[in-house]
Amino acid sequence: MRVAAAEAGMVGGEAMTAKRIDARARFLPVGDTAFAVEFGDRIDPAINALVHRTAALLAETRPEGMVETVPSFRSLLVHYDPLRTSAKALQELIGALELEDEASRAPARIWRIPVLYGGGAGPDLAEVAAATGLGEAEVIALHAGALYRIYVQGFLPGFAYLGDLPEALDLPRRTSPRVRVPPGSVAIAQRMSGIYPVESPGGWHLIGHTPLRFFDPVQSPPTLFAPGDGVRFVPVGEDAHATIAEAVAQGRYSVAREEGPA
């Protein structure tokens, strides 16, 4: 699978060599059971890759007293048990770990997510078209034409922040958020796209709907996506949407994916 050159960005355009984590990040206090390892202050695929690499490194290293880590766009929250270790001890250990120099990698696997755009499935499509000065078909083509990277999962169980949305679709969140967004809603806001995995309040623009399920607490891991995965949206019609919905309900739909470079 070939990936756009823009995918292979680097922090500040500088070449990186193996460096200690404490030379690349700062530690921020988060009470007596967690601290943040912060690699930057903006949404950037290269910074996000450092976060996920650190999470993977710590999952291998399993420092004594570490409970779990929570990756986000530009920092890693490290939860620990203060009865088994201390922030000072863990930060010394983590700070001395080295991250190998590498350009951000292309996604190892790319999920193909079927989406019925517009109408009742995407009630904000017309508004998005009007606000961006594009036709509805152009909005769909732009949204479905991009390759997205999973930056973070959070906010809701299984909600993935997918970026980057094409600049032409960049809109602020809705001024009045909806009280109830149905699960499966495909939404956009700012430079991100997302899929609501469960019913929830939400302020993003709803442009489509997918019948797929993204969170199942009975499975472990409970979510379809993993960090670093890629996502592509595939427009489908009403009939295909209904057929897929039925297959998902019967547990006989397997999500299509493209394998990326090893």
Partner 1 sequence: MSARLQILQPGPQTTVQDLGRHGFQAYGVPVCGALDGTALRLANALVGNEAAQAGLEIRLAGPAFEVIGGPARLALAGALASIEVTLGDEMRRYSAWRAIDVPEGARVRVGALVGSGCAVLAFAGGVDVPPVLGSRATDLKGRFGGHEGRALAAGDRLPLGMGESQGPCLELPSPPRASGEVTLRAVPGPQTDAFTDEALNAFFATTYRISHEADRMGMRLEGPPLAFRSGADIVSDGIATGAIQVPGSGLPILLLVDHQTIGGYAKIATVISADLPLAGGLTPGTIIRFQAVTVAEGEEARRARQAEIARLIASLAPVREGPRIDEAALHQANLISGVVTALESS
What's the min distance (Å) between Cβ of 46 and partner 1? 14
Specify the residue, 67 or 249, whose C-beta has the smaller distance to partner 1. Answer: 67
User: CA 63 to CA 57: how far, in whole Å?
Assistant: 10
User: CA 157 to CA 2: how far, in whole Å?
Assistant: 31
What's the min distance (Å) between Cβ of 160 and partner 1? 8
Angle at 74 between CA 55 and CA 189, to 5 degrees: 120
What's the min distance (Å) between Cβ of 181 and partner 1? 13
Specify the residue, 132 or 200, whose C-beta has the smaller distance to partner 1. Answer: 200
User: CA 104 to CA 102: how far, in whole Å?
Assistant: 6
Specify the residue, 18 or 218, whose C-beta has the smaller distance to partner 1. Answer: 218
Strands (E), the chain: 19-20, 26-30, 34-38, 66-71, 75-80, 98-99, 109-117, 148-153, 160-163, 178-181, 185-189, 192-195, 200-202, 205-209, 230-235, 257-259
Specify the residue, 71 or 230, whose C-beta has the smaller distance to partner 1. Answer: 71
What's the min distance (Å) between Cβ of 152 and partner 1? 6
What's the min distance (Å) between Cβ of 107 and partner 1? 18
Pairing of strands 230-235, 109-117: parallel
What's the min distance (Å) between Cβ of 184 and partner 1? 15
Specify the residue, 117 or 214, whose C-beta has the smaller distance to partner 1. Answer: 214
What's the min distance (Å) between Cβ of 34 and partner 1? 4
Q: Are 190 and 172 in contact (CB under 8 A)?
A: yes
Positions touching partner 1 (CB under 8 A) are 28-36, 38, 41-43, 55, 67-77, 79, 82-83, 86-88, 152-159, 161, 197-198, 200, 215, 217-218, 220-223, 227
User: CA 13 to CA 2: how far, in whole Å?
Assistant: 21
Pairing of strands 160-163, 200-202: unpaired
Q: Which residue has the tokens 């922090």?
A: 11
Specify the residue, 99 or 156, whose C-beta has the smaller distance to partner 1. Answer: 156
SS3 91: helix
Dihedrals phi, psi of 93, to nearest 5 degrees: -65, -50
- Candidates 140, 109, 145; CA nearest to 229 is 109
Specify the residue, 82 or 261, whose C-beta has the smaller distance to partner 1. Answer: 82
